[in-house]
Amino acid sequence: MANEIERVRFRGIEGAVIAEVTKDDDSGITFGDVTLLMGTSEISKAVDSKSDTYYCDNIAAETLTSKGPTTLKLKGTVLGNKVKALITGNSYDSTNDSVVEVASPDIKYFALGYLYKLTNGQRMLVWNYKGTFAIGDETYDTETDGTEATEQELTYTSIDTTHKFTLKAPSGTGNITKSIRNYIVPESTTFTAATFFENVALPTEANA
């Protein structure tokens, strides 16, 4: 049978990294150095989208859709104080490796990269290009004779870039100029995890 569906599922997540967005305007987008965010045990993704149908002459004549921000919830190891201060816009004291929470933190945008695996062995490489972090509730439990421990929880709200890229149209003919939100590619000889996450990888522009 032609075009058979390969029955695969998600199985595996690793390598959450970040890079600060240093510029995002009509002339281009740039990023700071890539740094490790946390060891991850789970990343869940939800897209806020809406769709409404409008009626005319007693028929459903038009459907309008809108796409809101993408929310990623991350669970994993406790953040280092330097990274915690960076993503929350607080002050970091390197002498004492301490976070100093300020009254009005600076709002900073970050790219978020990670790798997820499929049950067929394929590894998928992901960069989300612009978003903000919020740290969830933290629970500090008493030690017992068991092995229980609590994880760090983060929420990353991903939005579109201000800069618009010239890309190939979905039809394969012609180009489109659009803001982008993320880039998802399978690992291959062209895109390896080592090179994809060394810097923030951007899609090749159609007119490059």
Residue 123 CB coordination number (10 Å): 17
pTM higher than 0.75: yes
Using CA atoms, how far apart are residues 86 and 135, in angstroms rounded to an integer? 12
Q: What is the pLDDT of residues 135-185, one digit of tens each?
A: 987 777 777 777 677 788 999 999 999 999 988 887 777 888 999 999 999
- Asked if 88 contacts 135 with a C-beta cutoff of 8 angstroms, the reply is yes
The confidence score (pLDDT) of residue 189 equals 81
The pLDDT assigned to 66 comes to 62
What is the reported pLDDT for 6?
73
Alpha-carbon distances, residue 55 vs 50, 51, 97 (angstroms): 17, 13, 61
Contact 120, 142 (CB under 8 A): no
Measured CA to CA, the distance from residue 105 to residue 145 in angstroms comes to: 39
Kindly list the domain boundaries of the chain, sorted by start residue.
Answer: 10-196
122 φ, ψ (degrees, to nearest 5) = -70, 135
Give every residue of the chain whose pLDDT is below 70, as ranges: 1-3, 5, 49-51, 55, 57-58, 60-67, 147, 205-208
